[in-house]
Amino acid sequence: MMSQNINYHQLANAVRFLAIDAVERANSGHPGMPMGMANVATVLFTKFLQFYPQDAKWHNRDRFILSAGHGSMLLYSLLYLCGYSDINIDDIKNFRQLHSKCAGHPEFGELAGIETTTGPLGQGVATAVGMAISQKILAQRFGKIFNHKIYVLVGDGCLMEGLAYEALSLAGHLKLNNLIVLWDNNSISIDGKTSLAISENIHLRMQSFGFDVSRADGHDFAQIEQVLQNCQDSTLPTFIDFKTIIGYGANAKAGSEKSHGSPLGEAEIINARNNLDWQHQPFEIPGDIKQQWLQFGNRSADIYQDWQLQYNQLHNKSELDQLLNKKFPDDFWQKFSSFQNDIINQAQTQATRKSSWQVLDFITKNLNNIVAGSADLSESVLTKTANTTAINVNNFAGNYLHYGVREHAMAAIMNGLSLHANFIPYGGTFLVFADYCKAAIRLSALMSRQVIYVLTHDSIGLGEDGPTHQPIEQLASLRSIPNLLVFRPCDSEETVASYKMALNATNQPSAMILSRQNLPFLTKHSQNYHCGAYVLFDVANPQVTIIASGSEVQIAVQVAKILSEKYHIASRVVSMLSFEIFRKQSAEYKQQVLPNNTLKCAIEAASYFGWHEFIGNDGIFIGMQSFGASGKAEDLFKHFAITVDNAVKQILTKLQ
């Protein structure tokens, strides 16, 4: 129980008032949550959380995820007090300023103790579920050397988000007893009391998911310690309801939305200092309090040293190192080249989703750091291979997750898998449902995580399912995300090349945009896939440059041949495999591929948005100007005039 010679109230005050003072100095931020949860965080960090600031990325550390990322100063205060070397008092004072490590919401990569970027509510808890799954996989494969827990602090807002429902439901299904959810139950949201919008019984909801549910007064140190102690050996994931007062210690703003998202103000800070017996200047931490915090920060040193010995004695340490350091086997790329040549030699007419399956089959056979999955579409998006085994409550040695109809959770959980142990996760759904994944895809890109999104049924070419399932604007939406690679291959050869680039892109997520319908294998005049766009079919002194991606490249080839052979209009075809990679090429290469003195015509069964960059004001776009329709694929392409005849007609008209 609580050590008698430690003043936990003052330890918590150190956390609380660093947050108050930083928000006040910045004149921006969220002081209320750190004030209310300081006691819980103090007990967690001083008595339960296993971490070692001298090696902030220790593989067996407990993870602490601040899903309620608006309360970022809670985390920054704890990292500073516990002695993390990359944060000092000046960083705290510089909270929310340009180039500050202490950003408005925790940003992965800015400080070693930040496990994931949080802020969009619900993302943190879903990412934490991915981390908990990752820990289970490591423990199953490599033994009890991996026995840490994942703690995630959520607010009322996190639990309102649909993403939290999805992720916590899966966590309960998998009985992730290494996951401990700490609910800051202050009953306040930005608009006021949460009763304005929610009245459900959260305890019953969590119990229905399969969680062990308990509660405690979030300001009572003894209760906090007892409830955290009780869950350490739980056989189920744990959900703890900590009843707190937002803005705890203030007078007028305590328990009010007024302490949520704005500074307290000088008068309220004076009141809080008096109420909580903290008579120190802003940012001043008494020496004895700071020293005690540093000692608590170092309390896992012996555990850390013992773990290092166990780690070095593992019989399969080389396999583990390969996984954790994201290193491929020495002969992997040699095998990949051989596989790539086999695909080219087969020259098959097939859907690129089928070509993707062939690549994934090879990858899952030859790499141990892949975690595959799908949002209940395994047989449609072809993500399950002969080398994948389903992960379930009785088998975490597998490498395939059935996410259920939970696209958003799938994407966020994959971020957790990537962050926790450097797994390379891939997950599949239909391209149109990328909208459900968008927020998590954005965070993949923001955090530079190597996550692969397998997105099939990429156009009106999927046919009879109609406009609700036919993506139109999704390609443009994905291409608008910074640091995301979007590949839309035209055949099996380009599909293999796309995966090769995705596997080499260690600091970027990738989206594979794949067809349902069969596509012909195209003969190529060049193989500059790595340039993002290249001249696939060429002629001397072209007058017209026809640019296309995916299933429309075959249309472009036919158009070029008709123009050249029937109308004697020299026309080349450019396959636009990836906007993002092509943009990075030299000006000379871009001019070589898309010469200024040619008429540009782009063909893509999607929105025009984004193509202006390549075809200019005088160019032609053959594509979608509306939503799709239900019908056979071939009928739809004719109906929307994405045809050889229409492209030829428009080019001839433009050249007149």
As annotated, the active-site residues are: 407
Q: Alpha-carbon distance 504 to 494, whole Å?
A: 15
Q: HSE (CB half, 13 Å, CA atoms) of 401?
A: 33
- Of the candidates 63, 68, 80, 64, the one whose C-alpha atom is nearest the C-alpha of residue 19 is 80
| Residue 329 DSSP symbol | P
Beta strand ranges found along 431-475 (DSSP E): 452-456
Conformation bin of residue 186: beta by default, left when phi > 0, alpha when psi is -120 to 50: alpha
Residue 232: how many CB atoms within 10 A of its CB?
A: 11
| Residue 404 DSSP symbol | -
Q: What angle do CA 183, 134, 446 make, to 5 degrees?
A: 75
Q: Give the helix/strand (H/E) hosting 378.
A: helix 378-381
Q: Alpha-carbon distance 571 to 564, whole Å?
A: 6
Q: 86 Cβ partners below 8 Å, 6+ apart?
A: 56, 101, 111, 112
| Residue 629 DSSP symbol | -
Are the beta carbons of 478 and 517 closer than 8 angstroms? no
Beta strand ranges found along 133-263 (DSSP E): 150-154, 179-185, 188-189, 192-193, 212-217, 238-243
Reduce the secondary structure of 19-49 to three states and give it as a string: HHHHHHHHCCCCCHHHHHHHHHHHHHHHHHC
Site of tokens 């080019």: 651
Are the beta carbons of 125 and 165 closer than 8 angstroms? no
Q: Alpha-carbon distance 458 to 455, whole Å?
A: 7
Q: Alpha-carbon distance 557 to 563, whole Å?
A: 10
Integer angstrom CA distances of residue 270 from 18, 253, 266, 390, 609: 14, 13, 6, 57, 54
Q: Alpha-carbon distance 600 to 594, whole Å?
A: 8
Q: What sign results for the dihedral spanned by CA atoms 635, 567, 573, 584?
A: negative
